[in-house]
Structure 1
Amino acid sequence: MSDLAVVTGASGGIGEQIAAGLAGTGASVVLVARDRTRLKAAQARIENAVPGANLETEPVDLANLAEVRALADRLGERMPSIVVSNAAVIAPLDDRTPDGFHRTLVTNHLAPYLLLRRLAERPTAEPRRFVVVGASPGGLTRVPVDLDDLNLEAGRGLGWPPSFRPFVAYARTKNMNAMFVYALASRLAGTGTTVNGAHPGIIKGGHLNRHDRGALKVFGALCGLIAAGTATGADTPLWLATAAEVEGVTGEFFVKRRAVETAPHTTDQERVERLWRDSARLVGLPA
C-alpha cells in the first residue's frame, strides 16, 4: 500500500512541484487548494509528467477555518503519512475573512496550525512527516511577531511605505510558521511523527504576489529577476518529506537541505508557547 501524502497550495508553483515529486515516489497525493479549476489543471499537468500518478483534489479555502476543520476530519480518517503545508498568501491589510481574521494570518498560520494539530491528535503507530514551508530565517530576523496584535487590529510596526505593509504582515506569519514547528515538534517528540520547517528560497512561478501594489509590486519584480524556478523551491521540502537521511529528525528548520538557526524571537520558549495558546484560542481548540 502506497503512502498517502497531502500538499496544500498545490494548484501551482512549488506546491505543484512538491506534489509531482511525491507522486513520482509512488505516493498517493491529495492536492489541496482553493480554486477548483486551477487544481484540476495542476492535476492534469502532474499526470502528464508522472505517468500512473495517483492523485485526487480537495478544493478547500484555507482562509475558511470551517473548511479546514472538515478537511482535517476527512484526512484524519485516512491517516496521511506525509503532510506538506505550503499554501501562503500576501493579502491587503483590509482583506478580512467572514470570521474576522486577516486573510494572511489565517491562510499562512492558523490553517496549518489547525490542520496539522488536528491530524497530530489522531494517534498512530506509523511514522509521519509534517513539513511546513516557511521563509528566509535571515530576512525574518527583523520582523518579530507582534504577539499582542496577531490579527493586525492595531497594525503597529508595519513600516513605510503603506503598500509594503502587507509584506511585513506576511513575514510575521512566516515567523509564526517556525514557532509552530518548534511547538508542535516538542509535543510530538518520541511519537514517530516529525515536524520540520523549510525555506524554499525566492521562487518565481507562483501566485503569492498576485495582490501586490505600489512599492511592493516593484520589490516583487526585482526579486523576480533573481528568483529560482519551482523545482529549486520544491527541493528541500520534498527532501524533508521523503529522504531516508532525515528519518527521525524533528523540530528543525532547513535551508538548502541544511539545518539552520532561526531568530531568537522565534525560539524563545515563552513566546513560542504564547503563540501556541493564542492560536488555539483563535481556532477554537484547547491550549
Structure 2
Amino acid sequence: MRHTDTSDQRPPRKRAVVTGATSGIGAAIARRLATEGVDVDLVSHSQRRLERSAARIRDSAPDAELRLRRADLSSLADTAKLAERLTQPTPPDIVISNAACTVDPAETTPEGITRMLAVNHLAPYLLLRSLVRPLGDRPARFVVVGADPGTLARLPVDLDDLQLTRDRHRGPFPSLRPALGYGRTKNMNAMFVYAFAARLHGTAITVNGAHPGVIRDTGLGRNDRGLLRLLGRTMGLFPMPGPDTGADTPSWLATSPNVAGVTGRFHVRRREVPTAPHTTDVARCDRLWEESARLVGLPPKL
C-alpha cells in the first residue's frame, strides 16, 4: 500500500502581532498564542525586554516561532515603519493592539503629540489602517484592548481637545490627571473599533474591542504619583486576577471560531457588551476618525 505524505496538507500556521508584548497582559497574550501554535511578532520599544519576553515564552512553548519587533509606538514615524516591516514577507493574520501608557497629559512626543494620545490611540489607528491595503482580500482579525466601559461612560472624548490640553488643568489634584487622559484615550479605542468596522464592511477583516478586566501586574501604574499611586496601592490590597486572566478575552477574539466574522463589537469576559452612547454615536465616531487621519497624515478614506 502506498502511503501519502500529508505533511504539506496541514493548514499554514497563523501569524499574530502583539503590541506591548513584554509585560502584563500583552506578554500573557503572546505566550498564550504561542502555546496554541501561532507564530507571534512581539512589539516593544526595548530590545532587552523583547529578548527577555521571548525567553519566557519559549519556557512554555519551546517550539514557538517568534519575531522581535522593536518600535517606539509614541512615534508616528516609527509606527509607520513598523507597519511596513510587518507586511514582510506577508501581512499578519492577527493583530492585537495592547500597548498603552498612563502619563501626565502634558507630556508630549518630539512630534508634538500628547504621549498618551500617541501611544493609546494614534498608534493603533495608524498601525491597523496601514495593514488594510497590504492584506487585500486576505482574512484577518484586529483586536483593540480597551478598558472598562462602565467606568469610561463618565469620561467622554472631547472632540475639540484630542490633545488632552484641558485634562492638564482639570481638577484640584494634578496626580489624578493622567487617569482622566487615559480614560478618554480608551474611549477613543472603542470609537475607533466602531468606525473602523463600518469602513471595513464587505472585507474579510474583522475588528473588535475587549476589556481585559481589572488586572494586577500590568505595569500601567509605573508612572503614577500622589493620590493616583495611593489609589493603586489601595486596590492592590484586594485580590485581583493576574495577566493570564486579562489575556483571555483578547486571545479568544483573535482565534476562536465562535467569533469568526464578528466585527464592530466590544467584549468583556467573552460576552458582547454595550458601551456608552457617546462612543457609539456615528457622527462622533466619524469626526474622531477624520481628526485622527489628519494627525497621522493619512487620507480619511481607507
Q: TM-score range by the shorter chain?
A: over 0.9
Partners in 1 of 2:170 and 2:202 — Cα distance? 39
What is the letter of the counterpart of residue 209 of structure 1?
G
> How far is the alpha carbon of 1:35 from its aligned partner?
1.4
Structure 2 gaps of 5+ residues are: 1-11
Counterpart of 2:40 in 1: which secondary structure? strand
1:33 is aligned to 2:44: yes
TM-score by length of 2: 0.92
- 8 Å Cα contact 2:145/2:210 also seen in 1: yes
> How far is the alpha carbon of 1:208 from its aligned partner?
0.9
Partners in 2 of 1:92 and 1:216 — Cα distance? 11
Q: Which residue of structure 2 lines up, in the alignment, with residue 182 of structure 1? A: 194
Q: Which residue of structure 1 lines up, in the alignment, with residue 269 of structure 2? A: 256
* CA displacement 1:79-108 (0-9 Å, x = unmatched): 100000000000112211001111111000
* CA displacement 1:222-243 (0-9 Å, x = unmatched): 2323431011100000000010
Partners in 2 of 1:210 and 1:220 — Cα distance? 10
Q: Which residue of structure 2 lines up, in the alignment, with residue 227 of structure 1? A: 240
TM-score by length of 1: 0.97
Q: Which residue of structure 1 lines up, in the alignment, with residue 257 of structure 2? A: 244
> How far is the alpha carbon of 1:210 from its aligned partner?
0.9
Q: Could you tell me the percent identity over the aligned residues?
A: 55
> How far is the alpha carbon of 1:156 from its aligned partner?
7.1
Structure 2 residue corresponding to 1:147, chosen from 127, 134, 159: 159
Partners in 2 of 1:226 and 1:95 — Cα distance? 32
> How far is the alpha carbon of 1:63 from its aligned partner?
0.2
1:11 is aligned to 2:32: no
- When the two structures are aligned, how many residues end up with a matched partner? 287
What is the letter of the counterpart of residue 104 of structure 1?
M
Q: Is the radius of gyration larger for structure 1 or structure 2?
A: 2
- Residues 3-82 of structure 1 mapped to structure 2, 5 A cutoff: 3-77=14-88, 78-82=90-94
- Residues 92-103 of structure 1 mapped to structure 2, 5 A cutoff: 92-103=104-115
What is the letter of the counterpart of residue 54 of structure 2?
Q
- Residues 86-97 of structure 1 mapped to structure 2, 5 A cutoff: 86-97=98-109
Counterpart of 1:121 in 2: which secondary structure? helix
Partners in 2 of 1:84 and 1:272 — Cα distance? 21
Partners in 2 of 1:139 and 1:152 — Cα distance? 18
Counterpart of 2:123 in 1: which secondary structure? helix
Partners in 2 of 1:5 and 1:160 — Cα distance? 43
1:284 is aligned to 2:294: no
Q: RMSD across aligned C-alpha pairs, in angstroms?
A: 1.2
Partners in 2 of 1:115 and 1:92 — Cα distance? 24
